[in-house]
Structure formats: C-alpha cells, structure tokens
Amino acid sequence: MPPPSYCGRFAPSPTGPLHFGSLVTALASYLEARKRGGTWLVRIEDLDPLRESPEATTAILNGLQCPGLIHDGDIRYQSTRLALYRQYAEQLVEHGKAYYCACSRKELADHHGHHPWDCRNGAPLPSDRPWAIRFALTDEEALWQDRILGAQHQTLRAGFDDPVIIRKEGFIAYQLAVVVDDIDQGITEVVRGSDLLEATAQQRQICQALGGTPPQWAHIPVIVNDQGAKLSKQNHAPALDDSQPCQNLWRALVALGQQPPETLLRGTLQSILDWALTNWSMARISRTSMTDSLHPLS
Ligand code: GLU
C-alpha cells in the first residue's frame, strides 16, 4: 500500500487573537504541507467555553487569511463534536483503557500516584464527589524522533500521569479531542509549538488505544522576545497587526531561520509567499529558542 499522502493542520484554541508565536507555528505547518504537496487543515479547538470566545475564533481566522495562509477543506470546530468525543471516552472505559476518577490532582500527588478512592481498579465512586474520566497509561519509556528537536525521551508512569480525558465540569479535555481528530482527519504530521512537547507521549498511547497510527511530530521551539520572555497568550503577547501582513510574514520567516532577503519587504504578499515556498526548509529551524527580533524595517 502506498503511504498516506501528507496531511498537516493548524489547531488553535481560541483563547485570544493570533500572536506572533502562533503565526510562526501556522506558517511552518502551512509551508511544510504545501512543500510536500499535501493538504493543510485548520481546526478550531473550542472545547472550553469559559476560556474561549467566538471573537477570538474570528480574529484567529482573520489573522491566517491576511497573510494568505489559505487552508484546504472546511474548518472543523471541535465544539460541534462533543457527543462523539464522549462516545470515544466511554468506549475506552469499556475496553479497560480509561476509568472514572474522583481523585483530585493534589490527592494523587499526596498519594504518589495511587488513587485514594481506588478508582483505577474500578472501585465504586463516592456519590458526593464529582468525577472525571482518566486515560489509563501504561508505564513506558517513550522514545521517538521529533523532526525538529531530534531524539526525544519521556517517562510515562501509569496512575501518576494518567491524563484527564473528560473533565469534572463535563468538558472534553484537549488530550482526547486532539487525538480523535488527528486520527479522523488523517493527519500524518503535526507541526506545533514545543510547549506541547510534554503532551506527545501520552497522545501516542491514546492514539494507539483508539486504533490509530500516531503522526510524525515536529515541535517548533518557543519564541522569546528581546528580553528572553516566552511569547504566549498567557504572557499577553501582543496581537498581530493584520494591516502589516508582509512584515508579519517576513518576521515569521526570520524566526524560522529561513533568512528571507530584505528586498522581499518591498514586494507583494504573494512574492513573499512564493519565495517562502521555494526556499522552505524545516532543517533551518533552530532547535533551541527563536527570537523575534522586531527588525528595523525600511
Ligand atoms: N489547541 C492547542 C493550542 O492551541 C494546540 C493543539 C495541537 O497543535 O496539538 O494550544
């Protein structure tokens, strides 16, 4: 059988508008998909109505469209698929790969990963406590090759590290939905920020438990500002100025180590995108942190 054709995705959680770090990630995943002649999907991971908003979704989609990062197919909204994720969680419970859990994170830490309510062994749940569903990890020294960061090693401890897949408030957890959709959409490679590196080994086990083939991963090092602080929504990184798409793209290419010539800044958006596609090489991305230099522009 021929290998499946390349399919990449950008999957933001709409907690705020696109900032520079997320544009860099989106651009890298877009260029890699286009360079490989593949498909590039956009999926909005809107699972937490308390932290997310439709305005942020609109701002993110606008932030992708302005610099010309045009996706294939329809945008997928995870909020429209909640019943399905729940079904998968229940299926994992039926197969003994997930369990109802009434323990808090603190209780688990205090008991060194053992469940004080014995939930992992199927003991009846106390009726007065809310419960979550956790995925039952297998002890593993997980080894894999990241396309940017190289050889990776993570230790997974059954019980201790078991991730929540349905939260106590009833919300679906990112760890479940991301894997369900990566399988369902036939994603072959995930290009994303290295803040999600830690989630990867767990996602690989969840993917295998759901009968999927894990994708390849390429984690983009965190972007820091001139003072060395991480750029993220949590750190209130400024939203991108969508009226400057050429400068934004050019800066993102610089951060990705692609060395775009400054003359590109005097051309059109299309000429920057064409240059980026012709010259794109993932091998030029730094393995350590990348700086947004806010280059003085002519
Ligand atoms: N939705 C996640 C976020 O915005 C990213 C998911 C992923 O790329 O795996 O942080």
Residue 95, domain CATH: 3.40.50.620
Q: Which of 156, 176, 196 is the last residue of a domain?
A: 176
Q: Which of 117, 149, 176 is the last residue of a domain?
A: 176
Q: Whose Cα sits closest to atom 6 in ligand 1?
A: 11
Q: 205 and 102 share a domain?
A: no
Q: 62 and 201 share a domain?
A: yes
The number of the ligand 1 atom at minimal distance from the alpha carbon of 45 is 1
Question: CA-to-CA distance for 34 and 26, rounded, in angstroms?
Answer: 12
Q: Of 272, 226, 233, nearest to 60 (Cα)? A: 233
β-bridge pairing 7-10 and 39-44: parallel
CB 79 within 8 A of CB 45: no
Q: 72 and 183 share a domain?
A: yes
Q: 28 and 67 share a domain?
A: yes
- For residue 9, the model assigns a pLDDT of 98
- For residue 294, the model assigns a pLDDT of 54
Whether the CB of 22 sits within 6 Å of ligand 1? no
Q: Which of 174, 181, 202 to probe ligand 1 with, by most ligand atoms within 8 A of CB?
A: 174
The CA 236 to ligand 1 mean position distance, Å, reads: 17
The CA 186 to ligand 1 mean position distance, Å, reads: 17
Question: CA-to-CA distance for 8 and 220, rounded, in angstroms?
Answer: 14
- For residue 109, the model assigns a pLDDT of 82
pLDDT along the chain (298 residues), means of 10: 87 94 96 98 97 96 96 98 98 96 86 82 84 96 96 94 95 98 98 96 98 97 75 69 94 95 95 98 87 51
The number of the ligand 1 atom at minimal distance from the alpha carbon of 174 is 1
- Map tokens 């990776």 to a residue: 152
Q: Which of 142, 176, 210 is the last residue of a domain?
A: 176
Q: Where are the alpha helices (DSSP H) in the chain?
A: 20-35, 54-65, 82-94, 105-110, 174-184, 200-209, 245-255, 269-279
Q: Which domain holds residue 243?
A: 7-78+179-291
Q: 70 and 101 share a domain?
A: no
- Asked whether residue 2 is assigned to any structural domain, the reply reads no
The CA 195 to ligand 1 mean position distance, Å, reads: 9
Whether the CB of 178 sits within 6 Å of ligand 1? yes
Count: domains in the chain: 2
- Asked whether residue 298 is assigned to any structural domain, the reply reads no
Q: 62 and 146 share a domain?
A: no
